[in-house]
Amino acid sequence: MARLVAFGDAHLGRSHLAHLRDEQGRNVREEDFLRSFSWAIEETIRQEPDGFLWLGDIFDHARPTYRTFAHVLAGLQQLADAGLPGVAISGNHDTPRVRGTGSPYDALERVFPSVTFAWRMEAARAEIAGVSVHAVPQTLAVDELREQLKVASGAVRADGVNLLIAHVALTSLPSRAYRDINELEVEESAFDRAFDLVVLGHYHAVQKISKRTWYAGSTDTFSFADSPETTKGLVVVDTGSGALEHVENPHERPLATVSVQAGGMSAGELVDAVERSAKGTPDGAVVRVYLNQVDPASFRQVAMEQFQEAVPRALWVQVEPDMGADAMAVQGGPTVGSLEQEWLAYVELQDLAGLERERVVSLGARFLEDARGDTA
């Protein structure tokens, strides 16, 4: 049977901590994600598989920059030069929101005939080393997705292995920090039992859902809302046994979180406590520091540069103070909580007729995380 390498959710073109630039003026974190994609291409070739599967959201949006597009073009050329056929689908980030508008996959499929690209919101099928790969890309609505899953089911071969790839959220997923824009969610039973294996993109942590269904995870960690405690990389699929091997990305930049019980500390003690708490974090990490019950007056006396200097080996130190309800109350005035708490309280007061309250809350949490990273 065939061995296939699968990965997705590279989100090329995404920025995190947009103010951090290298000597050429490029966003440091965007360069991290490009490097991880290059590693995935090289590791795919090193594995000597029968082919490869791209599981959507290779691009962070449907209008990538020239530099991002050229990076993907070069990666595909490496795979073509190695003689590897492949199947690629679009995801919720790199599928145009308006039907009929242009897509980067349109240009790519004109150049690489050895790759089957499914991006027109229609299911496609390809044969790789005797395996029928059924590809269902992102659609504009969940009803369309279900219809395309039925189309894929109708193309199942009676003999051989049938493998389904899709970019979708499952109702059985563990809890996540946020839900995503244009995300489509179905239950696992939406996948026909005739599929021997199901390998999915969208969820950024490698995850076994059932005996036949897996998430491959993302190639890198994009923010603190993105399960930084889980390793990222790619998976090698053995279509004979149904086993998946996760290969870790050794170039992933670590994201570390430390907490400081800061009650009663002076400004100088705060800086010293951050230095002690972050001492064990990896070199080059993005470090998030929670200051619990910190005194507002002490916190205001510390410049952000002092926290950064306290952890000199970190790429960036992101400080998040929790001043507590008592500290934030001003002589009978309103009590102000964290941004997340205030957002949740605000949503609870709104009439969200026609909207999913949980999704609104989780989207707000995701935007707050991104904004904090970009402005810290």
Query: Secondary structure of the chain in the HEC alphabet?
Result: CCEEEEEECCCECCCCCCCCECCCCCEHHHHHHHHHHHHHHHHHHHCCCCEEEECCCCECCCCCCHHHHHHHHHHHHHHHHCCCCEEEECCCCCCCCCCCCCCHHHHHHHHCCCEEEECCCCCEEEEECCEEEEEECCCCCHHHHHHHHHHHHHCCCCCCEEEEEEECEECCCCCCCCCCCCCCEECHHHCCCCCCEEEEECCCCCEECCCCEEECCECCCCCCCCCCCCCCEEEEEECCCCCEEEEECCCCCCEEEEEEECCCCCHHHHHHHHHHHCCCCCCCCEEEEEEECCCHHHHHCCCHHHHHHHCCCCCEEEEEEECHHHHHCCCCCCCCCCHHHHHHHHHHCCCCCCCCHHHHHHHHHHHHHHHHHHHC
Tell whether 277 and 359 lie within a shared domain: no
Which domain-ending residue is among 248, 283, 315?
A: 248
Tell whether 195 and 290 lie within a shared domain: no
Which domain does 373 fall in, by range? 338-376
Give the residue, 314 or 174, on which the prediction is more confident. Answer: 314
Instruction: State both tokens at 40.
Output: 């995935």
Which domain-ending residue is among 311, 330, 349?
A: 330
pLDDT in tens, 185-204: 999 999 999 999 999 999 99
- Which segment, 88-102, 103-117, 315-329, 351-365, is predicted with the most confidence on average? 103-117
Average pLDDT of the chain to the nearest whole number:
88
The pLDDT value recorded for residue 246 is 97
Tell whether 91 and 197 lie within a shared domain: yes
Task: Give the strand pairing for 207-208 and 213-215.
Answer: antiparallel
The whole-angstrom distance between residue 307's C-alpha and the CA centroid of its chain comes to: 28
Instruction: State both tokens at 58.
Output: 């290779």
Tell whether 235 and 364 lie within a shared domain: no
User: Looking at the DSSP assignment, which residues form a beta bridge with residue 132?
Assistant: 127, 162
Q: What does the alpha-carbon distance between residue 184 and residue 217 come to, in Å, rounded to a whole number?
A: 17
| Interval 137-146 mean pLDDT | 95
Tell whether 283 and 343 lie within a shared domain: no
Hey, CA dihedral for 230, 231, 235, 241, is it positive or negative? negative
- CATH code (residue 8): 3.60.21.10
Tell whether 76 and 208 lie within a shared domain: yes
pLDDT in tens, 143-172: 999 999 999 999 999 999 999 999 999 988
Tell whether 105 and 180 lie within a shared domain: yes
Task: Please determine, for residue 332, whether its predicted confidence score (pLDDT) is greater than 50.
Answer: no
Task: Please determine, for residue 325, whether its predicted confidence score (pLDDT) is greater than 70.
Answer: no
**In the chain, how many domains are there?**
3
Tell whether 154 and 212 lie within a shared domain: yes
Task: Please determine, for residue 348, whether its predicted confidence score (pLDDT) is greater than 90.
Answer: no
Tell whether 223 and 279 lie within a shared domain: no
**What pTM value is reported for the model?**
0.84
Q: Which of 136, 73, 64, 122 is nearest to 93 (CA)?
A: 64
Beta-carbon count within 10 A of 175 CB: 5
Tell whether 237 and 258 lie within a shared domain: no
Task: Please determine, for residue 359, whether its predicted confidence score (pLDDT) is greater than 70.
Answer: no
Q: What does the alpha-carbon distance between residue 353 and residue 330 come to, in Å, rounded to a whole number?
A: 35
Task: Please determine, for residue 327, whether its predicted confidence score (pLDDT) is greater than 70.
Answer: no
Q: Determine the Cα angle at 256 with ends 67 and 268, to 5°.
A: 115
| Interval 16-33 mean pLDDT | 89
Tell whether 28 and 99 lie within a shared domain: yes
| Contact predicate 304/274, CB 8 Å | no
Which domain-ending residue is among 314, 330, 346?
A: 330
Q: Determine the Cα angle at 349 with ends 345 and 350, to 5°.
A: 120
Number of Cα atoms under 13 Å in the Cβ half of residue 7:
28
| Interval 6-28 mean pLDDT | 90
Beta-carbon count within 10 A of 161 CB: 18
Tell whether 352 and 274 lie within a shared domain: no
Instruction: State both tokens at 166.
Output: 């899709």
| Interval 262-291 mean pLDDT | 94
Q: What does the alpha-carbon distance between residue 211 and residue 344 come to, in Å, rounded to a whole number?
A: 37
